[in-house]
Amino acid sequence: MKLPRFITMNLLRKAYLPGLILALLTVISCKETDSEVRLEASAKSDVAYGADALQRMDYYLPAQRSTADTKVMVLIHGGAWSSGDKSEFKAYLDTMKKRFPDYALFNINYRLASTAGNGFPVQENDVKAALDFIDKRRSLYSISDKFVLLGASAGGHLALLQAYKYSTPLRVKAVINFFGPSDMAAMYSNPPSSVNPLLIAALVGGTPQSNAAAYFQSSPINFVLAESPPTLTLQGGRDNLVSPSQQVALHARLQSKGVANEYVLYPDENHGWLGANLSKSFDRIGVFLNTHVK
């Protein structure tokens, strides 16, 4: 029996419509996937993560990045918490891009203690605010939740503090500490030759005797737990600003908690180094991250 034409057309529509929708969805999906694959490298300077002029960051996002695979490295400069700038890392960014091509790099500033009212924990709070800002924009930046913190000197201290003290907005996967203090009470009571303990007192707000709570809260060593992230420390044996004893104590604590850790001492280096030892430091960082950040 021959069906009327309008019935035939309706049946054809019903038969082919699901297939047509599926085909269209497949095309759209392919276009989205192709768009992700074609993402180009992107960089931007002085992105505001807060209202203050120093609450700024630069970022570099690699090509072909994705929310599944692209890891994140947040760089935190030093300067005794009262000076310094994110520009200190600019000389190393090309090297870091080549050595860590699957990482997005975020280089942050924070409010400095040299400005009235910016004593501790302002710097700690700014690091957390910067991480919150980046985390909320992971989809926008096409980056994953695999965050690594790298800091030098005061920046190393801030990286350790964030990594050990906070599990929100996410738990840091690893921390790289270039000669950052881990125990602020020890920094005050047993300062290296070039450190005036009054500067520590001004930063923290009193002495360990007058403000014990502030010294406890500002010392990363007090927040080491079994679930703390893997930690690599690089330290100069002749450092006259941060004593190697700070790192010995920290890594003993990490070891006692069963946290993956590595302490690398360069016996003849001071508070920072260049040349062959810096290249070796980057080598150690690369091996450490490849081992612990998947």
Residue 21: its pLDDT value, please? 44
What percent of the chain shows pLDDT beyond 70? 87
Residue 199 has pLDDT above 80, yes or no: yes
Residue 8: its pLDDT value, please? 44
Of residues 142 and 33, more confidently modeled: 142
What percent of the chain shows pLDDT beyond 90? 85
d(CA 30, CA 131): 32
d(CA 91, CA 85): 12
Residue 261 near residue 141, CB atoms below 8 Å: no
What tens digit of pLDDT does each residue of 248-288 get?
A: 999 999 999 999 999 999 999 999 999 999 999 999 999 99
What tens digit of pLDDT does each residue of 145-184 get?
A: 999 999 999 999 999 999 999 998 889 999 999 999 999 9
Residue 293 has pLDDT above 70, yes or no: yes
Of residues 170 and 8, more confidently modeled: 170
Among the listed residues 52, 41, 96, the one whose alpha carbon sits nearest the alpha carbon of residue 74: 96
Mean pLDDT of 61-82: 97
Residue 169: its pLDDT value, please? 83
The whole-chain average pLDDT of the chain stands at: 90
Strand partners, 266: 236
Residue 232 near residue 179, CB atoms below 8 Å: no
What tokens does 281 get?
């430091």
pTM equals 0.87
Could you say which DSSP state residue 270 is in?
A: B
Say which range, 5-9, 52-56, 244-248, has the weakest mean pLDDT: 5-9
